[in-house]
Chain A
Amino acid sequence: MTDKRRVVMDAAGIERSLTRIAHEILEKNRGVEDLVLVGIRTRGVFLAQRLKKKISAIEGKEIPLGILDITLYRDDLATRQEKPQLGKTDIPFSLQNKKVVLVDDVLFTGRTIRAAMDALIDFGRPRMIQLAVLVDRGHRELPIRADFVGENLPSALWEDISVHLMEKDGEDCVIIEVGKEKHPGGNP
C-alpha cells in the first residue's frame, strides 16, 4: 500500500483484453451486420480503432467507426471552473437502426456515458447501444454498466486511474496512483 504509482496492466494485458472484447462483441452481435463502433474522445477513439482492426481481422469485413466528442453534452459545464477543449465529432454515417458499440478507456461515474448516449440519440435512433471499456473502476453515480470490460479495477476514490496508449502517450499501460487532491489525509 506504500506504492504511489503502480502499473496494473501492461501492453500485453491491454492487447489480450482488446482481443477478447473483439471476440465478445462479435459473439454477442452474431457477426458484423449493422454493427458500428463509436469511440469517445480522446482515448476511446484509439481503442475503437484497435477494436475495428481486430474485428476486421477476425471476420474479414470492415465496420464503420465514428468519433464522438461529448463536451457539449457534459452535465458539469456550468459548474466546472476549468473548461475542456472542444473537439470535433465525426460520425459520417447514419445510426438509424444500427447496433452501436460505444468505446471508452475508463468507466467511472458513468456521467461521460450518459452524455455520450444523449449525443448519439441526436444522430438518429440506434437499434441498441452497447458499451465497451478497457477499465471499469467502479464508483458509479448513474445506473449505467458496461457490456464489455477489459479489466475490473476496484479503486479508492482518491486514486487516479489513467490509461496510457501508444497513439497519444507513447506507451501502452494502465496506471493507478494516489491522487494529488482527493486523499482524505491530505497529500501523502
Chain B
Amino acid sequence: MITALTRKDILGTKELSVEEIELVLQTAESFIEVSTREIKKVPTLRGKLVINLFFEASTRTRTSFEIAGKRLGADTINIAASTSSVVKGETLIDTARNLEAMNPDVIVIRHSAAGAPHLLAKRLKASIINAGDGAHEHPTQALLDLMTMKEKKGRIAGLKVAIVGDIAHSRVARSNVYALKKMGAQVVVAGPATMLPRDFGQIMGIPVYSQMEEAIKDADVIMMLRIQLEREKQSIFPSLREYAQRFCLTESKVRLAKEDVLIMHPGPMNRGIEISPEVADGPYSVILDQVTNGVAIRMALLYLLAGGARDV
C-alpha cells in the first residue's frame, strides 16, 4: 500500500496505477467526514494557492474544486476564459506563465482542446489537475464515479458497468473505461453508430453495442452520458426525439439490469432525452451522491498533490 503520490500532475486515469487509484479512493473516504462537520474546514492547505482555470462552461466541477480547496484551507481563485485575457488574444501558454508568476501550488484546468493540461504540466512547476480536456479525459469524474460504486457496492472488481450515450465526444466515458478496467470491472458501452468512435471496442478491449438493451442487461451500474445538444447541428443524430426513443433510460429499461442496479449520470442531465425524470429521481439513482463524493475526491487529490513537501 502506497501512502503518497509521487507524480506532480493528475492528467488522466490512463496513466494512474491500481495502487494510486486505491490511495485516492481511500483518502477521499476519510475526507467525507470533514464535509459533514459543523465547521467544514481543516487547516491542511493553509497558505496554498489553487487556481481554477476554466476555458469551458462548468458549474459542478468548478464549484466542486473550489469547495474542495476551501475546505482544506487553501486560497482558491477562479478564472473563467470569458472574463480573462484570453478574449484579448493571449495564448494558453502565456496565460499560464503569467499565472505561474503568482506562484500557485495547483492549477486546475478545463479546456476544449485535448492535451491542453499536458502542455501546462510540461511547462509549469505547479501541479496540474485535468478537469476535462476536449473529448480526451476527465479523471476526477471517473474517480468520483468509482468512489460512488465502491461506496454503494462495496467493491469495483467484477461489477458490470454499462456506459450509454455519446461515447465519441465523452471524456467521462474514456476516463471511466480506463479506470474501471484497471480496477477489474467489466465495462460495456452502447450508443448510436454515429456516436461510437471507429474501433473503440477494439482499442479499449470492451464490447460495444448499438442497442442499449443489450448493454444494460444484468448491469450492476448504468452510467448515462449527457447528450451534447450543441452537437445536434453536426448531424450525428437525426432528431432528439429519435435519440430519446432508442437511448433514453426509462423505468422499463432499468428492469433489464440487476435488481439493485445503480443509476449514474455525470450531469448536467437532459431530462426526458437521455434519462427519464422518474429514473433520475428514482430509488436507484445515485446522481447526487456522485456530486457529494466529487468534493471528497477533489479534496483527496489536492491534499495528495499539494499537502506534503515537494521534492527539491
Give A contacts to B, CB under 8 Å: 69, 71-73, 77-90, 118-119, 122-124
Contact = CB atoms under 8 A, between A and B. Distances in A.
A9 B82 CA distance: 67
Contact of B308 (A73, A78, A119, A123): A78
Contacts of B1: 85
A140 B3 CA distance: 28
B229 interface: no
Contacts of A80: 308-309
Contacts of A89: 30, 33-34
A122 B308 contact: no
B307 A123 contact: no
Interface string B280-312: 000000000000000000000001100111010
Contacts of B3: 82-85
Given A72-B44, A77-B44, A83-B308, A90 B33 contact: yes
Interface string B5-35: 0000000000000000000000101110110
A77 B33 contact: no
23 contacts: A69-B30, A71-B44, A72-B34, A72-B42, A72-B303, A73-B43, A73-B44, A77-B307, A77-B308, A78-B307, A82-B3, A83-B4, A83-B308, A85-B1, A86-B30, A87-B30, A88-B30, A88-B33, A89-B33, A118-B43, A122-B42, A123-B39, A124-B38
Contacts, number: 55
Nearest to B48: A78
A90 B37 CA distance: 11
A81 B4 CA distance: 10
A122 B33 contact: no
Contacts of A79: 309
Main secondary structure on chain A at its contact with chain B?
loop
Which 5 A-B residue pairs are closest in the complex by CB-CB distance?
A72-B42, A83-B4, A72-B44, A83-B308, A85-B3
Nearest to B46: A78
Interface of B: 1, 3-4, 27, 29-31, 33-34, 37-39, 41-44, 72, 303-304, 307-309, 311
Contacts of B304: 83
Contacts of B307: 77-78, 83
Nearest to B311: A81
A86 B38 contact: no
Nearest to B73: A72
Contacts of A86: 27, 30-31, 303
A115 to B, nearest CB: 9
Nearest to A115: B43
Contact of B38 (A81, A119, A123): A123
Nearest to B32: A88
A26 B294 CA distance: 44
A77 B1 CA distance: 20
A11 B309 CA distance: 39
A89 B30 CA distance: 7
A122 B36 CA distance: 12
Contacts of A118: 43
Contacts of B38: 123-124
Nearest to A81: B309
A73 B42 contact: yes
Nearest to B31: A86
Nearest to B308: A83
Contacts of A81: 308-309, 311
Contacts of A84: 3
A106 B309 CA distance: 26
Contacts of B37: 122-123
Nearest to A95: B38
Contacts of B44: 71-73, 77
